[in-house]
Structure 1
């Protein structure tokens, strides 16, 4: 049985160094421990005090360019102590390759990087049940109100299509706050949904899952939408292009610095789907195939069980 302890207060404690050493001593006295860290520098502060025999695994979802990679850089002195470094897509593995090269980390350090894709928590759904008939084209965004998600940009897409047979649904907390009132005429806000079955029904009812993020690893909601036959339309960021092939199982748009270009590119793709409804079932089927090929729950569970317990 595992035990979880909240250590966030350490970031503000004047006794941080003492507490780090104390936690390391507790780990060292444990029976066959595995230390796991994700997206935080704390694990790397522990490493100098841990016995050499202790297995250490870390996880990186994606690099954050605007922050100059503080977590990833903090890990560099300890790359040799990591039994496995897990990333969720090939793009992040390449980011590490670039960072290692720039910082003089030996090439063989890449050998302990393992790609483990996110896990789908939904059973296979028969697409014969999906209604692809138009109008309207039903477009879905699922996510939090966070700057990198660019909710306002999606609202601008909706506003540009306000007089056309396209309807937009937003699922997530406080998303209205990220949109201008004038852009909400064909937006439907559902708030946060914590019921997975209710969310599955939303995916099933929509034709498109839309992502306009500035950065991502690979958003789980994109995989969930694809698993339910929703066609992905997304900015080409993070590892998305490893699973979304433009024109084959969805559409990618360039992540331009010019927001107007992104809006126009997404609008163009959605208009294409309105004008060519016959492609929706083909793209949706290809999207579902990719989702269950890459994000199979049994592969995820087996891999992580072996990583943390063997």
Structure 2
């Protein structure tokens, strides 16, 4: 299967060649005007865990000249300020690369950007953060230029990238669960084991709070979901059922949702939950975490979400399904509860919320354990060192 996908890519390259050739000619007549050390390719700059990680990576290189290409239309500019810096140039090319009616423009821009990279006076490095355009560009980049990719979890990109694996020197994954899933995928597609050797685990880092605050007043027990509402895997509908069930039982528990829920909670009693909306200001996010006691996730699958790191660092207990690498960091009964994936998820989660409600000492112990664990494992230092070693 792997060899067939490589053949398919080679055949497509014959069709693409004249468009890319024209793009290279255009780039020679219209050069960037500056030289760059690092080329980054990201799809979006709206709110999202991947976008937060991407912006954090970029900011680890204040001493390098950076250019970032955004290749798909973002629904908002919420995360855009976090990609900015005096050493960073931003290029929005989505009106060329994300236009299905004029797809030929995407083909031309592969040649344009490849020429920009290949013509740099000093050999740059290229980083692809789960960007479709970045994969399609990779064959056009000189073979002596290092290319690195980031994959968050097993997803559609896991398949898109297969024909382009030969062009990447390193594959970064953020969880051991993602690595194991891709090993199985490689075996299924007959991908040589040498590509497994290129995989490197780098756990996402977060800026740790400088100080600890007192636990928020209790009761009521304040539960929080933080994340996107438009991603099916997050199962926001189940969280809505949980919030409604707690409300109907008249328990001293509140439930808040941070993020854009896209109307997914409209069928539940409005009094059963609070919508906080999208937040991008770190101070706002920090305040919201500190004013809650429990982070609840009932996802169908994950890598290792940054919201878990952020919540643990501020002492929130975690109630989550045992997906991705969450069980490696959240130990059932030690710093949170893992809700079995089979059976009635809502009822199981409700039982664990009630356990915390009725046991203040347990909630306090979870808080202490999580703050200690986060300080030991989630700081930015190792994260920064790992990416700098790859890209400098």
Say yes or no: does 1:21 pair with 2:111.
yes
Asked whether the equivalents of residues 258 and 278 of structure 2 are also in contact (C-alpha less than 8 Å), the reply is yes
Distance 1:155 1:15, change over 3 A: closer
SS of match in other structure, 2:279: coil
Say yes or no: does 1:35 pair with 2:126.
yes
Asked whether the equivalents of residues 176 and 189 of structure 1 are also in contact (C-alpha less than 8 Å), the reply is no
**Partner residue of 1:277?**
360
CA distance in 1, matches of 2:153, 2:114: 27
Say yes or no: does 1:3 pair with 2:94.
no
Instruction: Identify which of 198, 207, 223 aligns with 1:139.
Output: 223
Asked whether the equivalents of residues 139 and 207 of structure 1 are also in contact (C-alpha less than 8 Å), the reply is yes
**Partner residue of 1:300?**
383
SS of match in other structure, 2:171: strand
Q: How many residues align?
A: 298
SS of match in other structure, 2:200: strand
Instruction: Identify which of 126, 142, 149 aligns with 1:51.
Output: 142
Cα RMSD, aligned residues only? 2.0
Kindly state the Cα deviation for residue 242 of structure 1 after the two structures are TM-superposed: 2.1
CA distance in 2, matches of 1:176, 1:249: 31
Instruction: Identify which of 262, 276, 282 aligns with 1:196.
Output: 282
SS of match in other structure, 1:3: strand
Kindly state the Cα deviation for residue 181 of structure 1 after the two structures are TM-superposed: 4.5
SS of match in other structure, 1:51: coil
Asked whether the equivalents of residues 331 and 337 of structure 2 are also in contact (C-alpha less than 8 Å), the reply is yes
**Partner residue of 1:91?**
177
Instruction: Identify which of 170, 187, 191 aligns with 1:101.
Output: 187
Distance 1:49 1:198, change over 3 A: closer
- TM normalised by structure 1 equals 0.89
CA distance in 2, matches of 1:283, 1:187: 24
**Partner residue of 1:249?**
335
Kindly state the Cα deviation for residue 293 of structure 1 after the two structures are TM-superposed: 2.7
**Partner residue of 1:130?**
214
- TM normalised by structure 2 equals 0.71
In structure 1, runs of 5+ residues without a counterpart are none
Asked whether the equivalents of residues 240 and 268 of structure 2 are also in contact (C-alpha less than 8 Å), the reply is no
Kindly state the Cα deviation for residue 227 of structure 1 after the two structures are TM-superposed: 0.4
Kindly state the Cα deviation for residue 78 of structure 1 after the two structures are TM-superposed: 3.4
**Partner residue of 1:154?**
239
Kindly state the Cα deviation for residue 28 of structure 1 after the two structures are TM-superposed: 1.1
Task: Give matches, 1:227-246, under 5 Å.
Answer: 227-246=313-332
Asked whether the equivalents of residues 208 and 375 of structure 2 are also in contact (C-alpha less than 8 Å), the reply is no
In structure 2, runs of 5+ residues without a counterpart are 1-64, 69-90
**Partner residue of 2:300?**
214
Say yes or no: does 1:169 pair with 2:256.
yes
Give CA deviations for 1:47-66 in whole Å, capped at 9, x if unaligned.
Answer: 222221110000011123xx
SS of match in other structure, 1:177: coil
Asked whether the equivalents of residues 289 and 311 of structure 2 are also in contact (C-alpha less than 8 Å), the reply is yes
CA distance in 2, matches of 1:150, 1:209: 14
Identify the structure with bigger relative contact order (alpha carbons < 8 Å, sequence gap 6+): 1
SS of match in other structure, 1:161: helix
